[in-house]
Amino acid sequence: MNNWFTVKVKYTKQMDNGALKRVSEPYLLAAMTFTDAEARIYEELGALIRGEFNVVGIARTELNDIFAYDDAETWYKCRVRYENFDADSEKSKKVTQNFLVSANNVKEAYERIQESLKTLMVDFEIPSIVYSPIVDIFPYNEDLDREISRRPIEEEEEPLTNAGKVVYSAAGSDVEDDEIDEEEFDSEVEDEYDENEN
């Protein structure tokens, strides 16, 4: 079962003015475990980053879906809340879910999340939209799993595409977050590994 992980990578980056600067950047990827996430980030970034880089942190990130549009590279994390009626207990409860959407500004992120979720059969509200520092997203890659001798537990479907928009889901990432407090949402961390603690 794949989940989303935020992996923070530290390396020396050449800036626009030619100067070299040590930076720490977060990447989002689908993986089965923390170890799998670390192996995948080395595979994915090995060809993209010149020189040496280190993984300085890995955190599990709860996201229901990711809506990637071709015309924007900035990511916004949208918190969506709606009421879910439980037929067994005959009670309704508030459900909170997190989505990631690419947009050029907060207003566009709001409009795109509204458009992407218009097929929901319930009324929903969007209590917060925050800028996400995610640099790039690496969805599940079956070919990469085969290449480094890993076998996926659960097969993933091809991402859905619609007019310049791609929707990514990681199996197991559609967990309903019943009462997420603001601090937990802001930290985006459920489980965390930090190499500095070892």
Tens digits of per-residue pLDDT, 149-198? Answer: 454 444 444 555 555 677 776 654 444 444 444 444 444 444 444 555 44
What's residue 142's pLDDT? 66
Cα(31)–Cα(103) distance, integer angstroms: 25
Which whole number is the average pLDDT over 50-67?
Answer: 91
CB 88 within 8 A of CB 52: no
Considering only residues 82 and 88, tell me which one the structure prediction assigns the higher pLDDT.
82
| Total domains, the chain | 1
Mean pLDDT: which of 8-12, 119-123, 159-163 is highest? 8-12
pLDDT in tens, 65-87: 999 999 999 999 999 999 887 77
Q: What is the pLDDT of residue 113?
A: 95
Question: What pLDDT score does 46 carry?
Answer: 86
Q: In whole angstroms, what is the distance from residue 94 CA to residue 92 CA? A: 7
Report the predicted TM-score, pTM, of the whole model to 2 decimal places: 0.70
Question: How many CB atoms neighbour CB 60 within 10 A?
Answer: 19
Q: Average per-residue pLDDT in the chain?
A: 79
pLDDT at 127 over 60: yes
* pLDDT reported for residue 87: 74
What is the domain extent for residue 131? Answer: 3-197
